[in-house]
Chains A and B, each alone.
Chain A
Amino acid sequence: MRLTGDPVGLMVARNATPEQREAFRVAHGFDRPLAEQFLGYLGNALGGDLGKSLRLHLPNTELIMQRLPATMELALAALALSLLIAVPLGIVSGVFPGSPLDLLARLIGLAGQTIPSFWLAMILILVFAVNLRLFPTFGRDSPQHLVLPAVALSVAGMGQMVRLLRSAVLEVCRENYIRTARAKGLSEVVITLRHVTPNALIPLVSVVGVNFTYMLGGSVYIETIFAWPGLGTLLNDAINDSDFPLVQAITIFIAAFAIGLNLLTDIAYDLIDPRARQR
């Protein structure tokens, strides 16, 4: 993050003397060789020290931890919402292709791919806050404040999950063990709940993990629009303020989080699906 621009120009007073500028550089270590700065940063990062914000003069880790709960709340709410709608809808649409619910499922699947979340957020504000006056538009004071941001953030993931589940169900329904179950005389309800659903849910596990990290990314827009006091607004402010250490710290944090989550997803996959273990 040291390639473009000089933060010194932004940070010191306009009438600062060259000596004062130099003193600022030395104080922040900008005068040392790049390799030394980088290695020092790397060593500190491994120890949990992600440097200090240029603007807010606080340790970056402290700033991140302050904002993390709000972001987690929003991302988890969006994830729960997308699962709550995607799982039943995806299964029903796969079991009854061509039904009205299937049409709805395919529409949601398409919406997730074609409506940008930040535009959806603005439309939700216009309809539900400005015109209908049902929900507040910014802040994080009551459960009502969570509704619109969570809906806006959930749609992309919801669409992906519905599409995935639908095709998984269609595939599972063609398997031999489903034919066997039918031949045994099991009712369609039992077949769907006991045999189709558990098998179709397996591929969903990996998507849930990926989606959660994407929601952390997407929260940059949604949090900014709804003034939600989380990591996303912090990142957006840091970008606008050219607060490079903070941008760097937040991206490193999200990336580490994503990699950890990927690992957990892989482990969960092995636990759930014995076929994955044998490979």
Chain B
Amino acid sequence: MLVRFIDALDPRQPRSRLRVALPYGVHRLLHDPGALLGLVLVSMVLLTALFADQLAPYGPTEGSLLDAKRPEAWQEQGLPGHVLGTDQLGQDILSRVIYGARVSLAVGFFGVLLASAIGVTLGMSAGYLGGRVDEAITAVVNLLLSFPYLVLVIIVATVFGRNLLNVIIIFGVTDAPVFARLVRGEVLRLRNVDFVVAAVGLGVPTWRILLRHLLPNLVGPLVTLMTFEMSAMIFYEAGLSFLGLSVPPEVPSWGNMLALGRKFLYIFPWMSIYPGLAISLTAFGVNLLGDWLRDVLDPRLRRAD
């Protein structure tokens, strides 16, 4: 009974927040062309990844050497069946770009999910328990954050083998400190807010305070950080592929296509142009969507313009 009462005191419970955020979000979506564009782009990439089998005119590794090294269909030597041209093995560039969306989105989505799971656990423990736990976690987090991120990823990637699961784990673990730092700060701030102090005073168990009172209040900043980190991960995955440290070379990821395209840059430039364009458009969409989510979910961080 009392616990229910305390829950009701919390002004930022998910249900009441959603009631405010949802209409505002729709309003912004309709009045902010950037937000709409972001949503459209991200949905397009998502649908492309989900329905790659239906959308792609060819399989990702299907190709005939007879059709190899052709430019885009509108160029003089292009083939009508290969809209964006073919690579040195005759594989269709458009199909490979379509299948590549799967790798990038899988790494971005699951990597961020893992990073936030680890980061939230560490950040909440550090912020709420304080003392030695906080000192230990903060020390590790600061150590990892002071490394240039790319170098950290390269070290881990040279140590582990090349496959999709490893890449996701690498990004999930190395990106966790960013989430831990954000969550710790938020928890430190929330710990002294009245509804939490009241809950502690009434003997609400710690796990319930963490899950019921603190976690819902972290959703806004967390979701915002997740979108930005997701676009960063898509970038870094492409970068790792480029160095030959991500998924195996035969997997059609955008980074792998760029790494291969670089070798043929002077003779078959179309091999490099389109995968890079796909990365940029995806990052562009995710960033616009992130701006929109930040405006909707976290009024304190609203853009200055």
Contacts and interface: CB of A to CB of B under 8 A. Distances in A.
Interface of A: 1, 3-4, 97, 110, 113-116, 118-119, 122-123, 125-126, 130, 166-167, 170-171, 213-214, 216-218, 220-221, 224-225, 235-236, 239-240, 244, 247-248, 251, 254-255, 258-259, 262
A97 B146 CA distance: 34
Given A170-B304, A239-B243, A239-B244, A217 B280 contact: no
Nearest to B159: A3
Given A116-B239, A118-B242, A239-B244, A251 B155 contact: yes
Interface in B266-305: 266, 269, 272-273, 276, 279-280, 283-284, 287, 304-305
A225 B262 contact: yes
Given A1-B159, A4-B160, A254-B148, A126 B269 contact: yes
A195 B214 CA distance: 40
A242 B20 CA distance: 55
Contacts of A235: 154
Contact of B148 (A3, A171, A213): A213
B150 A119 contact: no
Residue among B149, B158, B161, B239 with max Cβ neighbours from chain A (10 Å): B158
A97 B305 contact: yes
Contacts of B149: 214, 217
B221 interface: no
Contacts of A218: 150
Contact of A221 (B155, B160, B243, B273): B243
A240 B244 contact: yes
28 contacts: A1-B159, A3-B159, A3-B160, A110-B287, A114-B231, A114-B280, A116-B283, A118-B239, A119-B280, A122-B272, A125-B265, A126-B265, A130-B269, A170-B305, A171-B304, A216-B148, A217-B149, A220-B154, A221-B242, A224-B243, A239-B158, A240-B244, A244-B158, A247-B155, A248-B155, A251-B155, A254-B151, A259-B146
Nearest to B235: A116
B159 A4 contact: yes
B207 interface: no
B287 A119 contact: no
Contacts of B150: 214, 217-218, 220
B244 A113 contact: no
Contacts of B262: 118, 122, 225
A122 B263 CA distance: 11
Given A115-B280, A126-B272, A239-B154, 16 more contacts: A3-B159, A113-B231, A115-B283, A116-B239, A116-B276, A119-B258, A123-B276, A126-B265, A167-B304, A213-B148, A220-B243, A248-B155, A251-B154, A255-B151, A258-B146, A258-B148
Contacts of A113: 231, 283, 287
B161 A4 contact: yes
Nearest to A98: B305
Residue among A116, A214, A220 with max Cβ neighbours from chain B (10 Å): A116
B176 interface: no
B147 to A, nearest CB: 5
Contacts of B180: none
Nearest to B304: A170
Contacts of A255: 146-148, 151
A118 B258 contact: yes
